[in-house]
Amino acid sequence: MTPRLQVSLVLAALGCSASALSAQAPDRSRPPDLGPPPTLSLPPIARETLPNGLTLYFMAKRDVPLVQVNVVVRAGQVHDPDDRPGLAGLTAAMLDEGAGSRNALELADAVDYLGASLSVGGGVHETTVSLHTPVTRLDAALELLADVVLRPRFDGEELERQRRQRLTAMAQWHDEARIIAQSAFGEALYGVRHPYGRMATGTPASLQAMTVDDLRRFHATYFVPNNAAVIVVGDTDLEDIRPLLERLFGAWRSGTVPAYHAPAAPSSRRQVLLVDKPGAAQSEIRIGLVGVSRDTPDYYALNVMNTVLGGSFASRLNQTLREEKQYTYGARSGFSFGPLAGPFTASAAVQTAVTDSALFYFLRELNGIRESVPEEELDRGRNYAALRFPAAFQAVAQIAAQLEDLYLYDLPLDYFNGYVQRLLGVTRADVRRVARQYVVPARMTIVVVGDRSQVEAGIRALRLGDLTVKSIQDVLGPVPVVGTR
**What is d(CA 193, CA 78) in angstroms, rounded to the nearest whole number?**
11
- Give the range among 201-205, 258-262, 342-346 with minimum mean pLDDT: 258-262
| Residue 255 lies inside a defined structural domain of this protein | no
Render pLDDT for 402-446 as a digit per residue (tens, 0 to 9).
Answer: 999 999 999 999 999 999 999 999 999 999 999 999 999 999 999
Give the pLDDT confidence score for residue 172 in this predicted structure.
Answer: 96
Q: Which residue in 354, 265, 363 sits closest to 310, CA to CA?
A: 363
- 276 and 226 inside one domain: no
Strand-strand pairing, 271-276 and 228-234: unpaired
In sequence order, the 6+-apart residues with CB closer than 8 A to the CB of 470 are 184, 273, 274, 275, 276
Are 371 and 308 in the same domain?
yes
Q: Report the mean per-residue pLDDT for the chain.
A: 93
Q: How far is CA 365 from CA 48, 57, 272, 288, 439, in A?
A: 47, 42, 18, 13, 10
Q: What are phi and psi of 322, to 5 degrees?
A: -100, -60
pLDDT exceeds cutoff 80 at 6 = no
pLDDT at site 24: 63
> What mean pLDDT is predicted for residues 51-62?
97
- Among 312, 325, 316, smallest CA distance to 358 is for 325
Residue 23: predicted pLDDT: 54
Within 8 A by CB and 6+ apart from 68, the residues are: 130, 131, 132, 231, 232, 233, 234, 396, 397, 399, 400
- 152 and 244 together in one domain: yes
443 and 349 part of one domain: yes
The pLDDT value recorded for residue 2 is 55
Angle CA(401)–CA(407)–CA(411) in degrees, nearest 5? 105
Residues 341 and 430 in one domain: yes
Q: What is the pLDDT at residue 35?
A: 67
Is 188 within a domain?
Answer: yes
The CATH number that applies at residue 166 is: 3.30.830.10
Question: Mean per-residue pLDDT for 216-238?
Answer: 98
Is residue 124, in this structure, part of any structural domain at all? yes
10 part of a folded domain: no
118 strand-pairing partners: 131
Residues in the chain: 485
Task: Tell me, yes or no, whether 292 lies in a domain.
Answer: yes
Q: Quick one: 200 and 313 in the same domain?
A: no
Total domain count, the chain: 2
pLDDT of 30 reads 78
| One domain for residues 232 and 315 | no
Q: Is 98 left (phi over 0), alpha (psi -120 to 50) or beta?
A: left
Same domain, 282 and 221: no
Q: How far is CA 10 from the centre of its chain?
A: 62
236 with 296, same domain?
A: no
Q: How many helices (H) and strands (E) does the chain have?
A: 18, 12
Same-domain status, 315 and 432: yes
Is the pLDDT at 20 greater than 60? The verdict is no
* pLDDT greater than 80 at residue 281: yes
Asked if residue 445 and residue 385 are part of one domain, the reply reads yes
Core vs surface per residue 240-256: b (16+ CB within 10 A) or e: ebbebbeebbeebeeee
Which one of 194, 219, 249 terminates a domain? Answer: 249
User: Residue 10's pLDDT is what?
Assistant: 44
Asked which of 249, 282, 301 is the last residue of a domain, the reply is 249
pLDDT at residue 454 above 90? yes
Sheet containing 66-73: which strands, arranged edge to edge? 46-49, 55-60, 228-234, 66-73, 127-134, 117-122
Q: 292-348, pLDDT tens digit by residue?
A: 999 999 999 999 999 999 999 999 999 999 999 999 999 999 999 999 999 999 999
Nearest to 69 by CA among 147, 133, 127: 133
Does any domain span residue 120?
yes
Question: Within a domain: residue 301?
Answer: yes
pLDDT-based confidence at 7, cuts 50/70/90? very low
Neighbours of 445 (CB within 10 A): 23
Which secondary-structure segment (H or E) carries 405?
Answer: helix 396-408
Q: Does residue 137 sit within a domain?
A: yes
Residue 81 sits in the same domain as residue 182: yes
**How far is residue 240's CA from residue 135's CA, in Å, rounded to a whole number?**
11
Yes or no: say if 284 and 178 are a contact pair by the CB < 8 Å rule.
yes
pLDDT in tens, 391-411: 999 999 999 999 999 999 999
What is the pairing mode between strands 46-49 and 66-73?
unpaired
Domain carrying residue 191 = 46-249
What local confidence, expressed as pLDDT, does residue 39 receive? 73
Check residue 106 and give left, alpha or beta (phi > 0: left; psi -120 to 50: alpha). alpha
